[in-house]
Chains A and B, each alone.
Chain A
Amino acid sequence: MAGQSDPHISLFSAEEVEFMAEDELIEIVPNMRMDPLNFICGDFGPFLPQIATQVPMWLAVALKKRGKCAIRPPLWMSVENLTKVLEGERDSQGAFQALPFHYVEISRLLFDHARDDIPDMYMVRSLIEDIRDVRVHKVETSLEKFSGTSAVKIPNLSAMEVNIIRPFVGRALQAFYKHDNPEKIPDVDRASSGQTRVANNEPRRPLRR
């Protein structure tokens, strides 16, 4: 896609999407003893050495940085599964394989911080990159085809992918709508000319809340 990480085009920056992904739970194996942590988002722990427990991604990364735990890569991040997914992605033109909503961000975080915990790290990494490329390509080709619709439904699209195409699709659909209903053009134009300009210039501010 033209502006994969251009902050002016996507609603959120990649970092922001990653930030949201950090709330996903992941399994860690701590190597220290610690009482349960009581957060607003929930209670985690107790932490006992060599006993796996579920924590949010951000906590896992924080502990990992301090050498207090090993992160267990999620089940979908196995070479077999990813190979299967990649094959599935290549085989089916229209549909997307089921992957976690935040798969791009989670895998990126793990590659950055927990490379020693992922078996066949390079294989996994290249598989995920391949999957991402195939999917993005598929999104692009499918976007080329859509026409005259008022809505687009793509199941199993992940956060990062949605984030990339959302502004474009939104505007494109708006344009379609405009052209399909010529009698409404003046209304739309007049009513939303100011708004669309605002949205074009700074689309992020009103949506960030």
Chain B
Amino acid sequence: MKIKSLKLREAHKGSANASFCSILWDLNAHHLVTASSSEPSISIHDPLLPSNPPRVLRHHRDGVTALALSPNSTCLSSGSIDHSVKLYKFPGGEFETNITRFTLPIRALAFNKSGSMLAAAGDDEGIKLINTIDGSIARVLKGHRGPVTGLAFDPNGEYLASIDSIGTVIYWELQSGRTLYTLKGVAPDTGSDTSILNVLSWSPDGETLAVPGLKNDIVMYDRDTAEKLFTLRGDHTQPICFMSWSPNGKYMATSSLDKQILIWDVNRKQDIDRQKFDNRICCMAWKPIGNALAVIDVMGKYGVWESVVPSSMKSPTEDIPSSRSKNSNGLLFFDEEDEEDQELSMSGSLSDLGEDSHGESEPPSRKRLRKQSVIDDDQHEDVYNELNLCTKTEYRKKVHRINKESSDKERDGSRSMMTFRPKMQEAFQPGSTPPQPGKRNFLCYNMLGSITTIKHDEYSHIEIDFHDTSTGPRVPPMTDYYGFTMASLNENGSVFANPCKGEKNMSTLMYRPFSSWANNSEWYMRFEGEEVKAVALGGTWVAAVTSLNFLRIYTDGGLQKHILSLNGPVVTAAGFKDELAIVTHISDCLPSNEQMLEFRIFNISKGTQPFKGHLPLTPGSYLTWFGFTEEGQLSSYDSKGVLRVFTSQYGGNWLPLFSASKERKSGENYWVVGLNASKLFCIVCKNPDSFPQVLPKPVLTLLNLSFPLASSDLGEEALENEFMLNNLHLSQIQKRIEVMADEGLDTTPLDDEAFDIEAAQDRCIFRLIASCCNGDKLVRATELVKLLSVEKSVRGAIQLATALKLPILAERFNNILEERLQSKTEVLKTSLPRSKHDRNVKADVAASMALTATERNGDQTACLEDSREVNDAGKNAGPSQVKNLQTQRPSNPFLKLPNNQEEKKVEEVMSESQSQGPSNPFFKSSNKVGEATGIQQSHRPSNPFLKSTAK
């Protein structure tokens, strides 16, 4: 076996100089990814057909120094000498985003085990922890004195280990970002040669950290105490430059500057095989399935060393005792330097030696599948096995137990912390997108238009576009020397603000009206020792919230009008006409990772604060959009995709009106732009993008608002949702009518709207009654009948109940109708004396009833159609009943007319009543019980007869 030499194939040409190259496998061993620091391309090879040309990704402008694959192998990340870190789809290789930039070359990348976080480091000071979902920088870890060359996330998700070129190893605690241990000078100092990178690697079970030592060896450090445990020392004659754990952690491959690869049996601390190469091997990766090792040398030649571990010994992927659970948790086994990261520990290996060492004949892939179902319990068990079988010193045992237990407890918490924001969210502008180098981004996008910016070297270029090009003002593009990052837009003008950048660049607020009778009507405000955090724009005012928690309100002419102190750091602000809404933090996040936010609504022109209260968020989410509906209702949207609208019902409450998780088609994100009473306007973004690009121009998608209803036994969620929405609209309109009436304004259009909604609501209720009857929910049906606003619909319900052979129900409905009629006649009687016209009461009542009848005719037919459908669907359906229904229909107790003549007669009655006087007090009285007052009511346009006669 030792004689066999490995043929290497050229992957990257590179220069004549030795340069660091990377290689890694994907999860299923279908692809090999290679990169060289002397060449800007990344190659994706098919290991089965090495002669096929690889897929080449050329997005970097300089050599690629680091590669990392997310644990589920869907996302490839690369870091380069050109200072950028890029993300690609995998295995397709489509470029996705420049997730971050440094000021110096990148040297190391690593994904955490859930793939939600990417650590990147290089010659810059500081390791960046990047949230892969939105590209935000979660933390910058500073502490290394030299270029960071190796990063490794602990498989259990608690720590990050890093190593620099001068040989310092640092353990970081992820949750707090603190340095736990700093081990100075434990690894060789590689000097300035960038083709040698110090690396380090956690064992797959996370119990040991392997670091190259000073005596041409590998030193193992304890997970929790950072104590030196043991070393692997053998025939390497020069320092070790790379190492890789086998997937089960039993073996380790090490490569050294002496151009050798040694394979170690870690438990016995002995080398079992070796291979000599022409050039130094700078990166290796164990095949995740099977017994093979992929290697790449400093000249960019790669190869796969098959059957690395002698067949007499266990396969490197066979029985992965505790890493099995972690695999399914998404442990990163293919992270650049960490791909080797596979399992092992003293205790873990002890346990599996004791348990299941023989005769695993199942293919590894099947085993993997089976293991996935075991997940966490399994891990627990293993932990206990480890503990029980552990033959180490008592001390070790204790440390283990304590740490294990605590880490198990904390794991869930820390994981969710990592996926979402680890802290209180920063201030943001609704409708803005994060800046992307070389591309335009939105400073503001709303239903009206957009403000976009693109950064050039010294200045930015800002454009303001209105969606409606025909009516919106045309605004010339402007050059921005301030570097504005916040903006807001309405029909009158736009406001901009920039954060302060050091001493010379103070935070500035600028307002720019679109049309003004005076020249130079734009104005600037400069803030010393203060920084604008959020801006908002309203009818005649401009608001800015600053880092000192001041709310500053200006007129649109630039007069400094009010300065208020807010309770906490601002999250965002939004304006609509007179109203300004502001969201602030009121305290640190709860331990359950819920943010505590508060909102306030100010009425600027009146100087009042109509509402304030907590802003609800879905647990574990953050606010992503905040604004007003087209009708002026406050609304918010959080990162879990729940839209909430503020209503004054129940003394001011937030109603969840949309949930992306119910709506979402797979792989879509909704970026909210605005909403009106029934629709949500948003831009649909394909995963993993969570925000739109400026070009191509995004197109709005309309989504229906819907309450997150529980699935009821009735199975009519759509109807129930419509019912609740109608109720909501009705209450909103009635509130507005009240307000308007108080101000003495004409409420006619609103009345009409309310009437239309009532009609729609009756239809909806009727259908609900029908399905209740069919579903045998009779009590619910009775409740619904009580909610019908017109007695004609109640009659329809009675007919329906009769047709469905539910006499008891029909009886109940009848009682309800009688009660209703009774109360109505009482109202009529009481209201009559107030009427100025001394008319024949009976005729008037008849006329009004007839009116209702005709008005409701459309309604009625709809109801009948429904009932017929119901009939057809019902068990006791029969054509005779439908006929019955038809003949029953005209039974109007007040008119006593045959159906086909009804309309004619109504017309007669109508003309009669018209001739009697234009102000018939009962024109509308029957529309709503209890509204039959003598006040002149508006004519309903939906009544064809009224219209014709009123003319």
Contacts and interface: CB of A to CB of B under 8 A. Distances in A.
Q: Is chain B found bound to chain A in the same assembly?
A: yes
Interface of A: 29, 31-33, 49-52, 67-68, 70, 72, 119
B469 A51 contact: no
Nearest to A119: B696
B467 interface: yes
A33 B702 contact: no
A5 B8 CA distance: 61
B778 to A, nearest CB: 41
A33 to B, nearest CB: 5
A148 B632 CA distance: 74
Contact of A51 (B466, B696, B702): B702
B666 interface: no
B470 interface: yes
B681 interface: yes
B470 A51 contact: no
- Best-buried of A31, A68, A70 by chain B (most CB within 10 Å): A31
Contact of A32 (B470, B681, B697): B470
15 contacts: A29-B699, A31-B469, A31-B470, A32-B468, A32-B469, A33-B470, A33-B471, A49-B466, A49-B467, A50-B467, A50-B699, A51-B699, A51-B700, A51-B702, A68-B470
A51 B471 contact: no
A31 B470 CA distance: 7
Given A32-B469, A32-B470, 12 more contacts: A29-B699, A31-B469, A31-B470, A32-B471, A49-B466, A49-B468, A50-B467, A50-B697, A50-B699, A51-B699, A52-B699, A67-B469
Contacts of A50: 467, 697-700
A67 B469 CA distance: 9
Nearest to A67: B469
Nearest to B679: A51
Nearest to A52: B699
B171 to A, nearest CB: 48
Contacts of A31: 467-470
A70 B697 contact: yes
Interface of B: 466-471, 681, 696-702
A119 B702 CA distance: 24
Residue in A31, A50, A67, A70 whose Cβ sees the most chain B Cβ within 10 Å: A50
A70 B468 CA distance: 12
A31 B699 CA distance: 11
10 cross-chain pairs, A with B, having the tightest CB-CB distances, nearest first: A49-B467, A32-B470, A49-B468, A50-B467, A31-B469, A51-B700, A50-B700, A29-B699, A33-B468, A52-B699
A33 B466 CA distance: 12
Contacts of A72: 699
A118 to B, nearest CB: 11
A68 B469 CA distance: 8
A50 B467 CA distance: 6
Nearest to A32: B470
A3 B697 CA distance: 43
Nearest to A29: B699
Contacts of B466: 49
Nearest to B673: A50
B444 to A, nearest CB: 14
Contacts of B467: 31, 49-50
A50 B699 CA distance: 5
Contacts of A33: 468, 470-471
A179 B411 CA distance: 88
A7 to B, nearest CB: 40
A120 B253 CA distance: 49
A52 B700 CA distance: 7
B467 to A, nearest CB: 3
Contacts of B699: 29, 50-52, 72
Q: Could you say which of B470, B681, B696, B697 has the most chain A C-beta atoms within 10 Å of its C-beta?
A: B470
Given A32-B468, A32-B471, A67-B469, A51 B697 contact: no
B416 to A, nearest CB: 36
Nearest to A33: B468
Contacts of B468: 31-33, 49
A166 B701 CA distance: 43
Contacts of A52: 699-701
Contacts of A49: 466-469
Nearest to B681: A51
A111 to B, nearest CB: 18
Contacts of A70: 697
A50 to B, nearest CB: 4
A158 B438 CA distance: 44
Nearest to A69: B469
A50 B701 CA distance: 9
Contacts of B702: 51
Nearest to A31: B469
Nearest to B469: A31
B469, B471, B702 — most chain A CB neighbours (10 Å): B469
A96 B696 CA distance: 33
Contacts of A68: 469-470
A29 B469 CA distance: 12
A33 B491 CA distance: 15
A69 to B, nearest CB: 10
A1 to B, nearest CB: 38
Contacts of B471: 32-33
Contacts of A119: 696
A52 B468 CA distance: 13
**Among the interface residues A29, A67, A119, which one has the most CB atoms of the partner chain B within 10 A?**
A29
Contacts of B700: 50-52
B433 to A, nearest CB: 16
Contacts of B681: 51
B701 to A, nearest CB: 8
A130 B649 CA distance: 63
A47 B887 CA distance: 45
Contacts of B697: 29, 50, 70
B933 to A, nearest CB: 36
A33 B449 CA distance: 13
A32 B468 CA distance: 4
Contacts of B470: 31-33, 68
A67 B470 CA distance: 9
B703 to A, nearest CB: 12
Nearest to B445: A50
Contacts of A29: 697, 699
A49 B472 CA distance: 11
B322 to A, nearest CB: 45
Nearest to A66: B470
A51 B698 CA distance: 10
A209 B699 CA distance: 41
A29 B466 CA distance: 14
Nearest to A51: B700
A30 to B, nearest CB: 9
A51 B674 CA distance: 12
A52 B34 CA distance: 44
A138 B700 CA distance: 42
A33 B471 CA distance: 8
